[in-house]
Structure 1
Amino acid sequence: MSDSRLHKSLLNAKIGLFFYFLTLIFSFFSRKIFLDCLGADFIGLTGTLQNILGILNLAELGIGTCISFFLFKPIQERNKDKIMEIMSIFGYLYRKIGIIIGIGGVIASISFPFIFRNTIFNMGIIYFTFASYLGSSLIGYFINYREILLSADQKNYVVSAYFQTAGIIKTIVQIALAYTYKNLYLWVAIEFLFGIIACVILNWKIDKEYPWLKTNKNEGKILLKKHPEILINTKQVFVHQIKDFLLSKSDEIMIFAFVSLKMVAFYGNYAMIINKLITMINTTLDGVNAGVGNLVAEGNKKNTIKVFWELMSIRYFIAGTVVFSLFQLMDPFVTLWLGEKYQLDHIILILLLVNLFIMQTRGAVDIFNHAHGLYADTWSAWAEGIINITVTVAAATQWGIWGILLGKIISICFIIVLWKPYYLFTKGLKVPVKVYWAGTIRYYITFITSFTVMTIAAKFLPFHPKESIQQFLLYGACTVIPFTLFYFIILLVSTPGMMDAIKRVPIFYKIFK
């Protein structure tokens, strides 16, 4: 990537990580205050209403993902007229979606007296809370849709800075008011008010960044006929997104159906820890997505493939380090945090980590598929879903959670591990797929070697991480740090991409030069 793209990617990562950790700290602290002052029932109510809204937001159809792809080339070419055309189409489509979601919200709310018939809350606070969440969501469709230009232009840091700052201030105000007044209506009103404030500030910033940007939603319908490929790609993206949504939400439902409600809670503890780490990884690495889109738009195949291997090396390094760390520390952490009775079978942990490793190392392929607009393989989404459900139902009756996780792993092995790289290299990069496997097999070998050697070495450590926090920290330091260094060195000398990736850091560039 060019220095400009690299600079923006690093800035996105820095700002994203800063706000991630800040928000993480506030979320643990604020949740405790809200539970104490507003009650667990109310927090449960807000979570339920947000899930209902999440289902309604499926009507977005993946249009945002699709539009970002069509913005890469005109941004790279600085074609302002084309950008305004695409943004006008986006505004028109999002207005339609906003209307659909608004109507869907009203229809869904009709069933609230039945859904919440046993709740301790009156319908007034339920409807007020849902209307607040729905209104905040609709602001994004009717007004904030222009923020996608910031993301496509590698300026996610602007969105993060304004939205996350507003969110932190909102949380502080809610904490103070919840502690002082314990008023549910006031808490909800602040939620909606800060959504409006963030909207005003963000759009002011967009006007400053792009003073030439003029969109006309009313012309969007006419312009859409000029760009029919947008609707074609949108339909393709939607199939993939609905599959991802359903499969990501199915674990707890399957465990409830085939195992027990108690095991849902046990599994949820492990899933929460893993999801927090996934969020951190995505916050760090997603800032390069738009940069890759702009890179592909330039049409320099040699440089594109070089950057692909750089991102592969980073993905495998981070995924391998996280997986090894969780393998060594997850069970002791859960034991110290909640008690030994909440610890899951070690085979379940291994299956969770296999799934995590595959899903994180797929990132580079996914980014480049998006950059090339490769979504036409809608059959693969259906195939992955059918394989997942078939294997899960067959295996879960015999092995419980093991079977559920095996269903997921088998489905992603066929589609994510085998098909998606083939699709990218043959249709996007137009390079023989054997080039991909010649490089990728090295990554598998280096990880398995590093994992095996350092796992054996860890058995000789004189620490017992389940006994105390001090023992846990010492054990963690003596396993994770050596593994990280050992794994990094092997990646550096035996795989494509890592050397080029670290040369982008000035101090390493001088050393290796």
Structure 2
Amino acid sequence: MNTDSRTVNSIRNIGAGFVGQILQAAVGFISRTVFINYLAVEYLGINGLFSSILSVLSLTELGVGTAFIYSLYKPLAEKNKQAIATIMRLYKKVYISIGIAVFILGLCVLPFLDLIIEEKPENVVENLSFLYLFFLFNTASTYFFNYKTALLNADQRNFITTINYAAFYILQNIAQIIVLIVTKNFIYYLSAQLIFQFLGNLTISLIVDRMYPFLKEFKKEKIDPIIKKQIISNAKATFLIRIGGVMVNNTDNIIVNYFSGLALLGYLTNYTLLIGILTTFIAQVFNNISASIAQVNAIESKEKQYEIFNMVNLANFWIYGFCSICIIVLMNDFIVVWVGESFTLPVSISVMLAINFFMLGMQNAIWTFKTTYGYFNEGKYLVILTAVLNLGFSFALGHVYGLLGILMATALSRLVSNFWYDPYIVFKLGLKIPPVVYLKKFLIYVLIITFAGITTYYIAQFCNFSRVINLIIKAVLCILIPNTIIVLCYKNTPEFHKVVQTFKASYQSITKKIRKG
């Protein structure tokens, strides 16, 4: 089991996450470019639509993953091998059942595909049901292996999962590029994805078995009833949270297809691909510090916890605020340079995508603390309200404003529900600080990033050169203007100094390790 310090674990995990994500983003970007050039845009729509349908089916997972990871923190800290082994054995049984359930539910969707896609695009030659089965098998099969990654994550060894996933993802995309160039066949493209994802899952499973041999012991011992009861309770709460998250984040593609068809959905998926790369890249930080924050919340004072929260929250705002401005200012220029002007959407779409990106991102610090405090039951019903509001707003605003209205609906549904409630829970119950303190800080964040965004956008409009030169100059403006404004506003605050100190310490630790070997 892991014996390294929180700092070493966090630095190692974040470093591996960044490197892995850069490599994956580069290869994935090349693969998408080849995809666009060799297959019709409707295939992008099919990719986005089927992925969204199966994300909804993943509700079967019931949120048990988060509940199990939380239950592993204490026995890992105490080196309690028996508790770890019994928890993982239960985890395995649950996830195998979930994989089977996802596959069966997925098969039940087959008769309704003609209703979801009323008119099959002429450019799509394959049978839609056959294509859907590829997506279904790929999704369901992951549950038979992926439960083991929870142990690595809880033990602050995310870097192993990251390296393994990155390696097989790169191999998968190289294979898919070759397949598209040689055959231009979507079936072969999906087959390559299925094969390499299976191999990646199998490899991580074997690695976990080798690193934690005691998992095969304690076969007669039963899980502690108290731990089992806690897992069930937390899983029930996270199930509701998962329903809300999926219904808010993964139904937009289905609704866009309903109002606008697969072609527009295909254009949108290029935007969401780029934003997804950003989101996954940033998530490396927060995913890899959650176990460290769990330790802070378990053993440190409330003052120390609040200090860490302010540091994480400022870093969160800085990263997501800067990236949101980049989405608004650079997205369309990048799409033009990448695949051509015909694939662009109105600037208003980029603005709404950036708003949703910022709103979701600003919850990261809150959710990390809420989860590591163990507050799974608090607010579990409110996320259902978020989901219902999102569907209602999406159909109402989508009917009037189309794609823009659907994206607006997502922002509105979050704003009136869990966007304010989760911070309330963390501050009121966890940090023991009046929630209005967070509200004031957040409003200041919004004012600063709005000012920085408007300033950057209007200055960027003076660029009138070639496409590539425009993109480069605007990128430089995005780097200079927002970051300068944020530094000037926060350079004298304790959290800013803490962020800088942490960055310096991380840099020194990394360079020291490099020098040693």
Please tell me the TM-score bracket, short chain as reference. Answer: 0.7 to 0.9
CA distance 1:78–1:304, shift in 2 (3 Å): farther
Native 8 Å contact 2:75 2:83 kept in 1: yes
| Larger deviation, residues 352-361 vs 199-208 | 199-208
Deviation, 1:106, is 5.3
SS in structure 2 of the partner of residue 16 of structure 1: helix
* Worse overlay, 357-366 or 66-75: 66-75
User: Structure 2 counterpart of 1:212, which letter?
Assistant: F
Q: Residues 413-465 of structure 1, C-alpha deviation per residue, up to 9 Å, x if partnerless?
A: 22243211111112222322233234434433443444455556x26x85326
Amino acid at match of 2:147: Y
Output the amino acid matched with 1:443. Y
Cα distance per residue 1:145-196 (max 9 Å; x no partner): 2221101122111011112212322433454566567788876665454445
Question: What amino acid is aligned across from residue 480 of structure 2 in structure 1?
Answer: I
| Contact map agreement 1:313 1:491 (CA 8 A) in 2 | no
User: In the superposition, relative to structure 1, how do residues 417 and 491 fare at CA in structure 2: closer, same or farther (>3 Å)?
Assistant: farther
Which of the numbers 126, 130, 134 marks the counterpart of 1:126?
130
Is the counterpart of residue 499 in structure 1 residue 500 in structure 2? no
Preserved CA contact (<8 Å) 1:464 1:475? no
What is the number of residues matched between the two proteins?
501
Per-residue deviation, 1:225: 7.2
Counterpart of 1:152 in structure 2 is: 154
SS at match of 1:497: helix
CA contact (8 A) 2:23 2:166 kept: no
Q: CA deviation at 1:411?
A: 2.2
Give the equivalent residue in structure 2 for 1:57: 58
Task: Name the counterpart of 2:212.
Answer: 210
189-198 or 145-154, larger mean C-alpha shift = 189-198
- Whole-Å separation in 2 of the counterparts to 1:171 and 1:110: 31
Counterpart of 1:463? 463
Identity of paired residues, percent?
24
On the 8 A contact 1:12/1:287 being kept in 2, the answer is: yes
The answer to whether the 8 A contact 2:252-2:406 is kept is yes
After the TM superposition, which residues 411-422 of structure 1 pair with which residues of structure 2 at under 5 Å, given as runs?
411-422=413-424
| C-alpha distance 91-505 of structure 1, shift in aligned 2 (>3 A) | same
Measured after TM superposition, the shift of residue 318 of structure 1 is 0.7
Structure-2 change in CA distance of 1:445 and 1:499 (3 Å): farther
- Letter matched to residue 366 of structure 1: W
Contact kept, 8 Å, 1:503 with 1:509, in 2: the verdict is no
Secondary structure of the structure 2 residue equivalent to 1:99: helix
SS in 1 for 2:374: coil
Asked if 2 retains the 8 angstrom alpha-carbon contact of 1:17 and 1:283, the reply is yes
Q: Secondary structure at the match of 1:213?
A: helix
Does the 8 Å contact 1:89/1:219 carry over to 2?
A: no
- Secondary structure of the 1:493 match is coil
Contact 2:45 2:263 in 1 (8 A): no
Between the aligned partners of 1:181 and 1:383, the Cα distance in structure 2 is 47
Indicate conservation of the 8 Å contact 1:89/1:217, yes or no.
Answer: no
Contact 1:150–1:156 (Cα < 8 Å) also in 2? yes
Mapped to 1, the partners of 2:177 and 2:335 lie a distance apart of: 28
Uncovered stretches (5+) of structure 1, i.e. residues with no partner: none
Distance 1:412 1:18 in 2: 32
Q: Within 1, Cα distance between the matches of 2:337 and 2:44?
A: 26
Aligned mates of 1:226, 1:23 — CA distance in 2: 37
Give the equivalent residue in structure 1 for 2:381: 379
Alignment of 1:274-423 (within 5 A): 274-337=275-338, 343-376=344-377, 377-423=379-425
CA distance in 2, matches of 1:428, 1:17: 30
Q: Distance in 1 between matches of 2:342 and 2:108?
A: 43
Residue aligned with 2:417, SS = helix
- Which residue is equivalent to 1:80? 81
CA–CA distance in 2 between the matches of 1:184 and 1:260?
20
Going from structure 1 to structure 2, the CA distance change for 1:259 and 1:72 (only over 3 Å counts) comes to same
Range moving further from structure 2, 240-249 or 433-442: 433-442
Between the aligned partners of 1:464 and 1:241, the Cα distance in structure 2 is: 46
Gaps of 5+ in 2: 509-517
Measured on the aligned residues, the alpha-carbon RMSD in Å equals 3.9
Deviates further, 336-345 or 37-46: 37-46
- Corresponding residue for residue 96 of structure 2: 95
Assess, with a 3 A threshold, how the Cα gap between structure 1 residues 432 and 411 changes in structure 2: closer, same or farther.
Answer: same
Kindly report which structure 2 residues correspond to 1:229-248, keeping only aligned pairs within 5 A, or say none: 229-248=230-249
- TM-score by structure 1 length? 0.82
User: Cα distance, 1:126 vs. partner?
Assistant: 3.1
Partner-residue secondary structure (3-state), 1:375: coil
Q: Look up the SS of the partner of 1:371 in the other structure.
A: helix
Task: Provide the rounded CA distance (Å) in 2 between the counterparts of 1:135 and 1:391.
Answer: 33
Amino acid at match of 2:390: N
1:13 match: 14
- Counterpart code for 1:500: K
Q: 1:483 to 1:184 in 2, by over 3 A?
A: closer
Q: Is the CA contact 2:21–2:281 (under 8 Å) kept in the aligned structure 1?
A: yes
1:435 lines up with 2:437 in the alignment: yes
Distance 2:260 2:185 in 1: 39
Contact 2:243 2:387 (C-alpha < 8 Å) held by counterparts: no
User: Could you tell me how far 1:28 is from its partner in structure 2?
Assistant: 3.4
Give the aligned partner of residue 515 of structure 2: none
Partners in 2 of 1:410 and 1:43 — Cα distance?
A: 27
Letter in 1 for 2:469: Q
Give the secondary-structure state (helix, strand or coil) at the position aligned to 1:404: helix
Call closer, same or farther: CA 1:106–1:307 in 2, change over 3 Å: same
Change (3 A) 1:28 1:217: farther
Inter-CA distance 217–108: structure 2 relative to 1 (3 Å threshold): farther
Equivalent-residue separation in structure 2 for 1:141 and 1:392 (angstroms): 31
Task: Report the secondary structure of 2:463's partner residue.
Answer: coil
> For residues 138 and 81 of structure 2, what CA distance do their matches in structure 1 show?
30
DSSP 3-state at the match of 2:290: helix
Moved more, 423-432 or 30-39: 30-39
Whether the aligned pair in 1 keeps the contact of 2:41 and 2:267 (CA below 8 Å) is: no
Which residue does the alignment assign to 2:166?
A: 164
Counterpart Cα distance in 2 of 1:158 and 1:169: 17
SS of aligned partner of 1:78: coil
CA change 1:159–1:338 in 2 (3 A) is closer
Q: How many Å separate the matches in 2 of 1:316 and 1:450?
A: 13
Q: Secondary structure at the match of 1:374?
A: coil
SS across alignment from 2:381: helix
- Measured in 2, the distance between the counterparts of 1:475 and 1:51 equals 33
Q: Tell me the residue number matched to 2:485.
A: 486
